């Protein structure tokens, strides 16, 4: 049902229960980079200093840095040190990077707005594709997510509502059969949780009102009507956008 979601976050505890050191270092350095603690273009302290500051072995430090390099945050050159790469090279669709970019409390309005704008681009198209290509299994998954939303609405269960809403969108993405579009699911998964949580907690009623939009999407996909599905998703995102703007979780379109 759920994918493993192996991220630094979830991997932070080794089987035993103690936090894994590499993950700790990764989290710390990753956050320092995205928060600008180490500015773009800046050179990080040399290995020796970081080892002393963090009290870890060189092995551990280097493994963490290898991960940050793979995520596009850092660039290591022999003898020149470790530097922060420009923002456009960061893997913004990585769970870890997205998490680091969100403040511990609240939301990153700039980033959330960008993701919401991207949703408006991808999700209607994904719906249209899903209406054409989804197999029975995938449609069932979408329907189950919708039904879970209905139950959550009845029970006033915020957590379940968020989860079901996310599942609904992820199921549609998965039904496009396009692996490139599916790559976007990380952003959906990582951020819709935040956005919806902020919105739903403020006003569960808006979640209920949005149920009808979801149902339209579902039915259009079931009936193999791509253009209706596209339009329904567009309407839904518009509805959501207005809510998010009202709560200042995202900023209005420029």
Kindly state whether residue 48 participates in binding DNA, applying the rule CB under 7 A.
yes
Binning the chain into helix, strand and coil, the percentages to the nearest 5 are 70, 5, 30
Determine which residue in the list 5, 10, 42, 46 makes contact with DNA, applying CB under 7 A: 46
Calpha distance 170→99 (Å, rounded): 18
**Judged by CB, which is closer to DNA: 52, or 110?**
52
Determine phi and psi for 37, rounding to 5 degrees.
-60, -40
CB 71 within 8 A of CB 95: no
Q: Judged by CB, which is closer to its own copies: 110, or 147? A: 110
- What six digits make up the tokens of 206? 């808006």
Between 161 and 188, name the residue whose CB sits nearer to its own copies: 188
Nearest distance, CB of residue 34 and DNA, angstroms: 20
55 binds its own copies (CB under 8 A): no
Which residue reads 């511990």 in tokens?
Answer: 104
Alpha-helical runs (H) found in 4-94: 8-11, 21-34, 47-54, 58-70
Quick one: which segment of 55-63, 146-154, 156-164, 195-203 binds its own copies (CB under 8 A)?
Answer: 55-63
* Binding footprint of its own copies, residue count (CB under 8 A): 48
d(CA 59, CA 217): 50
| Position 87 contacts its own copies (CB under 8 A) | yes
Q: Rounded to the nearest 5 degrees, what angle is found at the Cα of 105, between the Cα atoms of 104 and 110?
A: 90
State which residue, 22 or 173, has the beta carbon closest to DNA.
Answer: 22
DSSP 82: E
Neighbours of 84 (CB within 10 A): 23
CB-based contacts of 111, cutoff 8 Å, min separation 6: 98, 101, 102, 191
Q: What does 157 bind: DNA, its own copies, none (CB cut-off 5 to 8 Å by kind)?
A: none
114 contributes a contact to its own copies by CB under 8 A: yes
Binding site for its own copies (CB under 8 A): 3-4, 6, 14-15, 22, 59, 62-63, 66-67, 69-71, 75, 77-79, 85-89, 91-94, 111, 114-115, 117-118, 121-122, 125, 129, 132-133, 174, 178-183, 185, 187, 254
Binding site for DNA (CB under 7 A): 14-18, 20-23, 44, 46-48, 55-60, 62-63, 76-82
């Amino acid at each position: 049902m759920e994918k493993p979601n192996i991220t630094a976050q979830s991997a932070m505890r080794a089987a035993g229960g103690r936090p894994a050191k590499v993950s700790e270092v990764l989290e710390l350095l990753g956050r320092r980079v995205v928060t600008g603690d180490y500015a773009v273009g800046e050179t990080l302290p040399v290995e020796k200093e970081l080892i002393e500051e963090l009290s870890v072995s060189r092995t551990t430090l280097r493994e963490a840095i290898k991960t940050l390099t793979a995520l596009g945050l850092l660039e290591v050159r022999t003898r020149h040190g470790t530097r922060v790469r420009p923002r456009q090279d960061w893997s913004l669709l990585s769970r870890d990077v997205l998490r680091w970019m969100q403040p511990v409390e609240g939301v990153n309005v700039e980033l959330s707005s960008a993701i919401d704008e991207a949703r408006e681009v991808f999700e209607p198209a994904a719906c249209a594709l899903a209406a054409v290509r989804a197999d029975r299994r995938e449609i069932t998954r979408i329907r189950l997510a919708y039904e879970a939303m209905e139950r959550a609405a009845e029970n006033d269960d915020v957590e379940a509502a968020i989860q079901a809403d996310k599942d609904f969108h992820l199921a549609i993405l998965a039904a496009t059969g396009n692996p490139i579009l599916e790559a976007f699911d990380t952003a959906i998964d990582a951020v819709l949780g935040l956005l919806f949580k902020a919105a739903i907690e403020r006003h569960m009623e808006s979640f209920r009102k949005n149920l009808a939009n979801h149902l339209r999407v579902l039915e259009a996909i079931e009936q193999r009507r791509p253009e209706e599905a596209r339009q329904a998703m567009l309407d839904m995102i518009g509805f959501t956008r207005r809510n998010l703007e009202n709560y200042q979780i995202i900023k209005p379109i420029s």
